[in-house]
Structure 1
Amino acid sequence: MTTNSILLVMDMMNDLVHPEGAGAKTYAVLMQERGVYEATKTAIARARAAGMLVGYVRVGFSPDYRECPPESPVFSKARDNGLFKLGTWGTEVFADFAPQEGDPDIVKHRVSPFYATKLEPLLRANAIDRLVLAGVSTNGVVSAAVREGHDRDYACVLLEDCCAGATAEEHEHAMSGLKRYATVSTAAGFDI
């Protein structure tokens, strides 16, 4: 690794972003319309070419959903619909963004990539002080990463063209609030 930055590709898994996944009618449509698939591939390629660490954040639960909060308005339907079950196709990273050998894999059980995960120790051990962020949803994991990253004293760079919400309005609303906490850039334009 030659930089103090990490590109975090968050919740870009088959259940959410694959054209045949559960999120096909929401995230996949908006990602196609906005060019998020191509932009994310560009961001990953640029980061790798620069020697930047690329990490993957995935939401997932044990097959019996023991970590899934039953009253959560975000996750309570996961169990009913068989979503986000670790070890299944649905929680694999979308093939176009596939991790390489040795890329960090951070599994989370809540919206935040920091809450009860190995993300913070990984960042500290690798002297990372800048987070470059991509993922779905903009108003979920991306927003949580920006806000928590900011409050943990990381510089945050939000790649707007590598993010999507369940609706265009959700994405735009989230972006309007996140500009205060992060530098907003693009896949082709962020500083390496």
Structure 2
Amino acid sequence: MKRTLFLVMDMMNDLVAEDGFNAKTYGIQVKERCVLENTAAAIAAARTAGAQVGYVRVGFSPDYREAPEASPIFSGARKNGIFQFGTWGNEVHEALAPQDGDFDIKKHRVSPFYATSLEAILRANRIERIVMCGVSTNGVVHSGAREAHDRDYEVVVLENCCAGVTADEHMHAIACMGRYGAIVKSADFDWAS
């Protein structure tokens, strides 16, 4: 098997929980697409095959010192008091709970690479392939796929483990990412390859 890291990105309660802040936006697509169930099954398959698992979480200090005020995305986090490290909203959803030995990659921007520990983790573990999923498809997943590609990693996106605010937003992002890696359903991916 290729040395593989499965990145589960921004699957935090504030974004994906049925009673989370975004339950009426992202939560609708997460539920309709069975994203949590699909991702939980993919995590189990990855672990069985011996792939490493990493969780990427966007977040900020309680005073939002890392959040750019001019950002149309992150100014909303500040205004609504979400994405704070150390809170329930910033924890990975319990259906996808991390285990000892998994990576916890904290970020302050859309990209899972920008100013995070991800690059060092990939190099230290001699990772060849990054399998990824997350919310949102057109945010962290799209950004991650492009950047992983440009760093010469094999990229695999588990399409049914991703969601956007709308089905159209998700489909457009998936269509774009096909240029940078393989787009597959989680049940069809051979982790042992």
Q: TM-score range by the shorter chain?
A: over 0.9
CA distance in 1, matches of 2:2, 2:62: 37
1:54–1:103: 8 Å Cα contact kept in structure 2? yes
CA distance in 2, matches of 1:14, 1:39: 17
Identity %, equivalent residues: 61
1:60–1:84: 8 Å Cα contact kept in structure 2? yes
**Pairing 1:86-105 to 2, within 5 Å after superposition:** 86-105=85-104
Structure 1 unaligned residues grouped into runs of 5+: none
2:178 pairs with 1:179: yes
The equivalent of 2:61 in structure 1 is 62
The residue type equivalent to 1:176 in the other structure is A
The residue type equivalent to 2:84 in the other structure is K
2:152 pairs with 1:153: yes
CA distance in 2, matches of 1:158, 1:102: 23
The equivalent of 1:132 in structure 2 is 131
Where do 4+ consecutive residues of structure 1 move more than 2 Å? none
CA distance in 2, matches of 1:96, 1:84: 19
The residue type equivalent to 1:130 in the other structure is R
- Structure 2 length as normaliser, TM-score? 0.97
1:3–1:51: 8 Å Cα contact kept in structure 2? no
2:2–2:129: 8 Å Cα contact kept in structure 1? no
Question: What CA deviation, in whole Å up to 9, does each residue of 1:78-98 have, x standing for no partner?
Answer: 111001011000000000000
The equivalent of 1:32 in structure 2 is 31
Question: What CA deviation, in whole Å up to 9, does each residue of 1:152-192 have, x standing for no partner?
Answer: 00100000000000111110110111111110111111121
Number of aligned pairs? 191
Structure 1 residue 3: Cα displacement: 4.7
The residue type equivalent to 1:94 in the other structure is H
> What is the Cα-based RMSD across aligned positions, in Å?
0.9
The equivalent of 1:6 in structure 2 is 5
The residue type equivalent to 1:52 in the other structure is A
The equivalent of 1:77 in structure 2 is 76
